[in-house]
Chain A
Amino acid sequence: MMSENKFDHLENFSIGGMFYKTRLTDKFVKRSRYVEYDPHLIKAFIPGTIVEVFVRKGSRVEEGQKLLLLEAMKMRNVVVAPISGRVKQLWVKENDLVSKNQLMIELE
């Protein structure tokens, strides 16, 4: 890590309108960027398995309607539509493993 070349790889880092020459940490570089919530994108809130899909591409859905059954940690979670609309794209099928924040359904 910091050895004789500790002053290599310096970046310009802005804080309070000033630029400082400094090193960035891996954790800082890899930090997750904020993405604004979009109710059209139905993402997995927990990693798990898709047990059942209740809608098809093109289905009309009402707010609160069941979309999927996502099993995680031995619990079956009903994923419902946060808004009314149409299923633009279905990205998962039954028995798929999904990771956290994976896109499952796109509404329009």
Chain B
Amino acid sequence: MGLKEKSTDLRRRMRNALRGGGEKAIQKQKAIGKLTARERIIALLDHNTFHEYDLFVEHAGKDFDMDKKYLPGDGVITGTGMIMGHPVCIYAQDFTVAGGSLGWMHAKKITKIMDHALKLKVPLIGINDSGGARIQEGVNSLAGYGEIFYRNTLASGVIPQISVILGPCAGGAVYSPALTDFVFVVENISKMFITGPEVIKTVLGEEISMEALGGARVHCETTGNAHFFAESEQQCFDQIKNLVSYIPWNNTRKAVKYPKKRPNTKRYKIENIIPSDPREPYDVRDIIKAVTDDSAFLEVQDLFAQNIVIGFGRMEGETVGFVANQPLVLAGVLDVDSSDKAARFIRYCDSFNIPLVTLVDLPGYLPGVDQEHAGVIRHGAKILYAYSEATVPKITLIMRKAYGGGYIAMCSHHLRADFVFAWPTAEIAVMGPEGAANIIFRKEIASADDPEAYRKLKVEEYKEKFANPYVAAAYGYIDAVIEPVETRKMLIRALDISKDKEVSLPAKKHGVPPF
């Protein structure tokens, strides 16, 4: 064969491999609103940047007549590319080829691109659409999953890892997304569970639909397994692009700086957002938008544990991670879910050099038997651990209530916040005035001529004396009491001066966080 023939042969081989599972399987994929694996990669990456690896990899199965079967690319497409100019490694399982099932070579393609991402120090994006283990390959298929999980763990905190669930992801397969930083799901397309509805029905007699058991909404609202909810694949890709713009390529870098922009202070004016009555709610996301560049805020897990808000914004062009109590939902209390949600985000930001801004307004931890029995002690401890351990710049603003354990947990000075600001509306106290007065003056109230009037008097006295930022400020627990209109300016100054912050912690292999 001459060069010309060899080139023709190469093109023929490529055409074969690029055909995926064939027309019929592709039609089936499209009929349920799904793109093919290759179309997904093209849609997500910048134009003409996809560089495919291992197109000619073939499966290694020998049993059950598998040696007679040709599976193009062994059901997974891998390569490198750019997203909004940021380099990434990517893989997408191809459901049209043997149901995207994971065999040994399929797994090897994935682990190869994972190793590549770790070596190049660029984010890894995995698009999951697979029926699960390739049963014909038996234990080699399990080995493949194990190799992936191991690499997910090694890469954690080194490169950002993003999982996109665009089809089924069941059984052991769910643990790769669970080990990664961000999980994206799409309504009616994503399905994640350990055991499916069939097994649950036969073993336990409980009937439930796939969507209700492990659909996109369940994982965004109830389980907290997913971080971003989209109604279509295209919307999902837009969300991924937005996220990638906020995060650094690896843990040795800072996020890419974007041009500075002013917030839209006409629409988001702090003085108008905060109600004068401390029992009235407001949407804390409006406060965040009042201080971020262009009033932009990318909320993470916006449907889960809404009593705490987490997400990314920029200040003077640089990425900041926000953690904020949400008075609009459950009065902004900390509970099992919100502690877990915030703690993981804090650790993410700390791993990737993203400074943290904490906005505080909470009445404390949520009381209740269900919370206590669900382990609010150990889950609540996660947030203390995450803040204490974090060495990125930590700026805290106490807006209104900061009572009890909640005050300590929300990045107080005691957990080594670098700056703690408070508005004049802040109330830093061991508990709310009502509760405190009832305890301190219990005897006096009981023996008063008019207990109710006396109690009210004492509550008022307590409020007057302690429901303000000045007692804490007098001990130096608050660095500065600032006017709400100065907020953005003060946050930027604090962030600016903390850029070269260095903290030395005791040498250790790793801590033992309460997870």
Spell out A's residues near B (CB within 8 Å): 1-2, 6-7, 10, 13, 15-28, 31-34, 47-49, 72-73, 97-99
* Chain B residues within an 8 Å CB radius of A28: 330
A73 touches B203 (CB 8 A): yes
A22 touches B205 (CB 8 A): no
* Chain B residues within an 8 Å CB radius of A72: 203-204
Please measure, in the bound complex, the distance between the C-alpha atom of A2 and the C-alpha atom of B327, giving whole angstroms: 13
Please measure, in the bound complex, the distance between the C-alpha atom of A34 and the C-alpha atom of B371, giving whole angstroms: 11
Given A16-B364, A16-B435, answer yes or no on A23-B328 (Cβ-Cβ < 8 Å): yes
Please measure, in the bound complex, the distance between the C-alpha atom of A7 and the C-alpha atom of B273, giving whole angstroms: 12
A17 touches B307 (CB 8 A): no
Q: Is B279 located at the chain interface by the 8 A CB criterion?
A: yes
Q: Nearest residue in B to A31 (C-beta to C-beta)?
A: B370
A-B contacts, 28 listed (Cβ < 8 Å): A13-B331, A15-B333, A15-B366, A15-B367, A16-B364, A16-B431, A16-B435, A17-B434, A17-B438, A18-B279, A20-B327, A21-B279, A22-B327, A22-B329, A22-B332, A24-B330, A25-B306, A25-B307, A25-B330, A27-B337, A31-B368, A31-B370, A34-B369, A47-B206, A49-B205, A72-B203, A72-B204, A98-B205
Spell out B's residues near A (CB within 8 Å): 203-206, 221-222, 279-281, 283, 302-303, 305-307, 327-333, 337, 363-364, 366-370, 373, 403, 431-435, 438
Q: How far is the CB of B331 from chain A (nearest CB, A)?
A: 4
Q: Nearest residue in A to B279 (C-beta to C-beta)?
A: A20
Instruction: Among A7, A48, A98, point to the contact of B281 (Cβ < 8 A).
Output: A7
* Chain A residues within an 8 Å CB radius of B332: 22
Please measure, in the bound complex, the distance between the C-alpha atom of A7 and the C-alpha atom of B438, giving whole angstroms: 31
Please measure, in the bound complex, the distance between the C-alpha atom of A21 and the C-alpha atom of B278, giving whole angstroms: 10
A97 touches B330 (CB 8 A): no
Please measure, in the bound complex, the distance between the C-alpha atom of A89 and the C-alpha atom of B370, giving whole angstroms: 30
Please measure, in the bound complex, the distance between the C-alpha atom of A45 and the C-alpha atom of B12, giving whole angstroms: 61
B434 touches A2 (CB 8 A): no
Known interface pairs A21-B280, A22-B329, A24-B330; 10 further A-B residue pairs with C-beta atoms within 8 A, sorted by A's residue number: A6-B283, A7-B328, A15-B331, A15-B364, A16-B403, A16-B431, A17-B435, A19-B279, A20-B327, A98-B205
A-B CB proximity, top 5 nearest: A17-B434, A97-B205, A34-B369, A20-B331, A47-B204
Please measure, in the bound complex, the distance between the C-alpha atom of A47 and the C-alpha atom of B373, giving whole angstroms: 21
* Chain B residues within an 8 Å CB radius of A34: 369-370, 373
Q: How far is the CB of B371 from chain A (nearest CB, A)?
A: 8
Q: Nearest residue in A to B372 (C-beta to C-beta)?
A: A34
Instruction: Among A16, A31, A49, point to the contact of B363 (Cβ < 8 A).
Output: A16
* Chain A residues within an 8 Å CB radius of B366: 15
Please measure, in the bound complex, the distance between the C-alpha atom of A25 and the C-alpha atom of B304, giving whole angstroms: 9
Please measure, in the bound complex, the distance between the C-alpha atom of A1 and the C-alpha atom of B330, giving whole angstroms: 15
* Chain A residues within an 8 Å CB radius of B434: 16-18
A47 touches B330 (CB 8 A): no
* Chain A residues within an 8 Å CB radius of B438: 17
Please measure, in the bound complex, the distance between the C-alpha atom of A27 and the C-alpha atom of B280, giving whole angstroms: 22
Instruction: Among A2, A23, A32, point to the contact of B330 (Cβ < 8 A).
Output: A23
Please measure, in the bound complex, the distance between the C-alpha atom of A18 and the C-alpha atom of B333, giving whole angstroms: 13
* Chain A residues within an 8 Å CB radius of B327: 20, 22
Please measure, in the bound complex, the distance between the C-alpha atom of A6 and the C-alpha atom of B273, giving whole angstroms: 13
Q: Nearest residue in A to B306 (C-beta to C-beta)?
A: A25
Q: Nearest residue in B to A97 (C-beta to C-beta)?
A: B205
B281 touches A10 (CB 8 A): yes
Q: How far is the CB of A10 from chain B (nearest CB, A)?
A: 7
Q: How far is the CB of B95 from chain A (nearest CB, A)?
A: 30
* Chain B residues within an 8 Å CB radius of A1: 302-303
Given A16-B364, A16-B403, A99-B205, answer yes or no on A26-B281 (Cβ-Cβ < 8 Å): no
Given A16-B403, A22-B327, answer yes or no on A48-B204 (Cβ-Cβ < 8 Å): yes
A18 touches B432 (CB 8 A): yes
Q: Nearest residue in A to B459 (C-beta to C-beta)?
A: A17
B328 touches A22 (CB 8 A): yes
A99 touches B363 (CB 8 A): no
